[in-house]
Chains A and B, each alone.
Chain A
Amino acid sequence: MAKEITLHIDGQPVTVPEGTKILQAAESIGIEIPRLCYFEGLPASGSCRLCLVEIEGQSRLAVSCTQRVKEGMAVLTASDRVLRSRRFILELIWSTHDGDCTTCEKAGACDLQRYTYDLDVDKEKYGLYAPDEIPSDLGDPLLERNLRLCILCGRCIRACREKSQGILDFMERGMSTIVTTSLNRPLAESGCDFCGSCIEVCPVGCLVERDRKLRGREWEFESVETLCGHCNLGCTQVIDLAHGEIVRTRPGADGYLCVRGKFGWDYLSSDDRLTAPLVRNGDSLQETTWAEALARAAEGLAGAGSVAGLVGPNVTNETVKAFGELLATSFGSQDVGFTGGGVPFGALSTFGGLKALAGVGDVEKAKKILAIGPSLAEGFPRARLAIKRAVDAGAKLIVVDPNESELAAIATLHLKPKAGAEAALLTAIGKALVDGDLHNAEAEGVAEAIPAIRELGVPDAGVSPEAIAEAAKLFAKGKGVVVSSALTCDVLSRSAGLLMLTGRKKGALLPLHPSANPWAGVLLSAGASGDGAKGIYALGTDPVAAGEPPNADFLVVQDLFLTKTAEMADVVLPLRAFAEEEGTVVGAGGKLIAVNAAAPSDLPANWQILADLADAAGKPLPYKSIRDVRAAAKETISAVKGSLAFPSMNGAGDSEELRPYERFELPEPSWVARSQIRRGGSAAGVSEAKEEVAA
């Protein structure tokens, strides 16, 4: 345990661990020291000079974001001298900052504006900014860079370096310094992956999302936190609404969203969304009432004789559960398939179940990482970030990818298997583990497996035996995880095998999937074929686009858009998108996570539509509220996998707790606390989650 240091800040005693910076020590007793360049979570640069404080007995002012506390120190954070210096700096900034707050998107959430108000700064002391040759928009897609507003704090530079590609820097020097890309090229030509991390840290209005422009003021925003639905890594996402419309999304507690999470929300408010049910009338689909559509669907499916269901991985557990129940209760069918490239759950069933799944936190803490699959970094930037952070912290990285890639460049070992030979390579590594006696002989199930593995021939994966032996040696010991964007059953089961051999059974395997809830298949009795079914109900899945057109006499499709499958359907029902639904998902790490209805929707909840359809079929579902569906879903998951973990928020072991969202602390900037955060305001789900926790 670190040594404790006691000091006085503005006369108040405070005790903090050795090594704490003055700024944090002050924060711990509720004293906020103004800062423009410092940002929680980024390395401090000490360049804005706004956080200067006076230390008794020292002639120079001290930079509180970089200076560590010392025993007996007496710090003054708001002495006359300190305030004079702060005002001076702010006066100077105003002479280079286009100060028209009336049209600036950041007004109300701008640190410069706030400090100017707090310190009653004379903005015109050094003259008002006169527009010069500096461009007000560099013309990048998705985000606007207005260098007339840039105050050169350098936060975006550090955010880009820490979280993304590191393409921003101070360019030129002295009085001509600007923040931009190398050679001032457009972002799109500089290797930017548009994660928007720079926007999140900008203290002023220099960097803003294009989509939010002129859509509402910062103080009008209503914010709801939920889970990003663009992949299964479960990044938290805050959706900001102004006047009932989405204007922006931004990262939640995790502090990072990739381009899809940050900018990929336009589909929610697309004009192409289905807003009303459609029924087939000859060759065309015609809009109709819910009552008629549900009656047609119920009648058609009931009359088809045999019914099969297909459900995709981008809906909540509750939707999947209600869907399975609808098929079983109302149409007497157990034939429900989980489609859309769902993760082959069977690959894991012999190996710890959902508990074996890792989340990004496990990857960041890992000492050994085996990263499998092409386009892992590009397809899953959050996984790339986790791997990079682990490598920066000293983890050894083995990359299995036929191509050169960003991760291969930082890998300890890069194995290039022949196309499609990833699984063979993993088998070879497993065999090398056993042959070299590097496996964990005590681990469960290993002793029985060893003889068979010794007998195995080494499959040809196009990788040299030396490299394979080295990989086995590297991966053998320490906290290790396998991250894979290759989702074939073979690769996943071999990965699970490797982890079993090395005795890693918890939080060890992270299959990357481009949908929100790829494990929801555990809610359904496995093995739907759909073969021979005369009536098919496809929810949130497009088998035609996947090359498997359903062959049915009567087809019901429920989806966001009029998909290729929907075009063939007899009845088309609209679907609420993931961000519009409250419920739970089986997130990365096998955790059951509550999600909020963050985006507005005029549609009934998905489970409600299914319940109404059951009513129309004359065989109602046993649910009265979303709470009933959730309870049923939870019960099924627990029953299917006894080992399923419901981790508590602090991650301390297993408990039967849900992870309710409202307990997340939002990070800086501080204005977030001022905007009305409707965390679960509409979301009855969250209050229910609370009740469940209490019960």
Chain B
Amino acid sequence: MSTATEVICAPQQALEALRAFAADGMCGRCIPCPIATRQSIAMLERITSGEGEAVDLDRLTRVSTELIDAARCPKGEEAAKKLGEALASPEFARHVEGICGSGACAALTRYRVIPERCTMCGACQEACPRDAIEGDPFIAWRGDNKPYVIRLEKCDGCAKCVAACPADAIERVT
């Protein structure tokens, strides 16, 4: 999920913590703990893939507060507390609005070509798996050169164009 820059946002952090709890710490013998964890993981997956809704934030907050009471063992309680700490970050609300901001959630990250830097080599277009970059290579004698632009509705934020660009001419906009 994380991009070439290896950054991680608050929802991703919470997601990783809960996945680790589910894989290792949780026994699954109490009723609330496994269901709450499964539900929270599903919600965080939605949020980090751009499908989160405001109601998910309410539900997550409810898990983080109520599971402290409902869990039997310190492990469950700790998982709930960690979730609660993560939820304090304003990043959650922004994710639901469609912005990751850190580049960690590809689905919530968009790029643009900086015209001033672009050499119109076409490497980004070749690298794009979704055919989201329009434009033609630079031909000196032509008067109607089409500069490269990233069509945001096609882009999924994979950032392969960023890695491919030799001129460092692509920047993150959200």
Contact = CB atoms under 8 A, between A and B. Distances in A.
Interface in A137-186: 151-154, 170, 172-177
A170 B28 contact: yes
Contacts of A151: 31
A20 B104 CA distance: 54
Interface string A11-49: 000000000000000000000000011000000001111
Contacts of B49: none
A52 B70 contact: yes
Contact of A47 (B30, B62, B63): B30
Interface string B75-102: 0000000000000000000000000000
B39 interface: yes
A85 B35 contact: no
A96 interface: yes
A174 B22 contact: yes
A60 interface: yes
Name A's interface SS.
loop
A175 B69 contact: no
B38 interface: yes
A308 to B, nearest CB: 65
B120 interface: no
A92 interface: yes
Interface residues of A, number: 34
B59 interface: yes
Contacts of B63: 88
A173 B31 contact: no
B79 to A, nearest CB: 12
A172 B59 contact: no
B35 A95 contact: yes
A177 B29 contact: yes
B59 A154 contact: no
B66 interface: yes
Contacts of B23: 174
A47 B72 contact: yes
Contacts of B72: 46-47, 49, 63
B34 A153 contact: no
A125 interface: yes
B26 A175 contact: yes
Contacts of A60: 69
A550 to B, nearest CB: 62
Nearest to B77: A60
A267 interface: no
Contact of B35 (A52, A93, A170): A93
A411 B21 CA distance: 45
B165 interface: no
Interface string B45-70: 00000000000000100110011011
A88 B22 contact: no
B37 interface: yes
A125 B55 CA distance: 9
Given A85-B66, A95-B39, A126-B39, A177 B28 contact: yes
A152 B31 contact: yes
B117 to A, nearest CB: 46
Interface residues of B, number: 24
Contacts of A47: 29-31, 72
Contacts of A49: 30-32, 70-72
B35 A96 contact: yes
A47 B27 CA distance: 11
Interface string A510-524: 000000000000000
A61 interface: yes
Contacts of A173: 26-28
Nearest to A81: B69
A175 B37 contact: yes
Given A52-B69, A170-B29, A177-B29, A125 B34 contact: no
Nearest to B58: A125
A454 interface: no
A84 B29 contact: no
Nearest to A84: B66
A546 interface: no
Contact of A88 (B30, B34, B38, B70): B70
Contacts of A88: 32, 62-63, 66-67, 70
B68 to A, nearest CB: 9
Interface in B1-46: 22-23, 26-32, 34-39
A174 B34 contact: yes
A84 B32 CA distance: 13
B36 A92 contact: yes
A503 B42 CA distance: 70
B135 to A, nearest CB: 43
A92 B59 CA distance: 10
Contact of A175 (B32, B38, B62): B38
Contacts of B34: 152, 174-175, 177
A89 interface: yes
A125 B58 CA distance: 10
Contacts of A96: 35, 38
Interface in A80-102: 81, 84-85, 88-89, 92-93, 95-96
Contacts of B59: 125-126
A153 B30 CA distance: 8
Given A47-B72, A175-B22, A89 B27 contact: no
Given A49-B70, A60-B69, A61-B69, A154 B29 contact: yes
Contacts of A81: 69
Contacts of B32: 49, 88-89, 92
A328 B28 CA distance: 70
24 contacts: A36-B31, A37-B31, A47-B72, A48-B31, A49-B30, A49-B70, A52-B70, A60-B69, A88-B32, A88-B63, A89-B32, A95-B39, A125-B59, A125-B62, A152-B29, A152-B31, A170-B29, A172-B28, A173-B28, A174-B22, A174-B23, A175-B26, A175-B34, A177-B28
Closest 4 CB pairs of A and B: A177-B28, A88-B66, A92-B35, A174-B26
Given A48-B30, A175-B38, 11 more contacts: A37-B31, A47-B31, A85-B69, A89-B32, A92-B35, A93-B31, A95-B35, A126-B35, A175-B26, A175-B28, A176-B28
Interface of B: 22-23, 26-32, 34-39, 59, 62-63, 66-67, 69-72
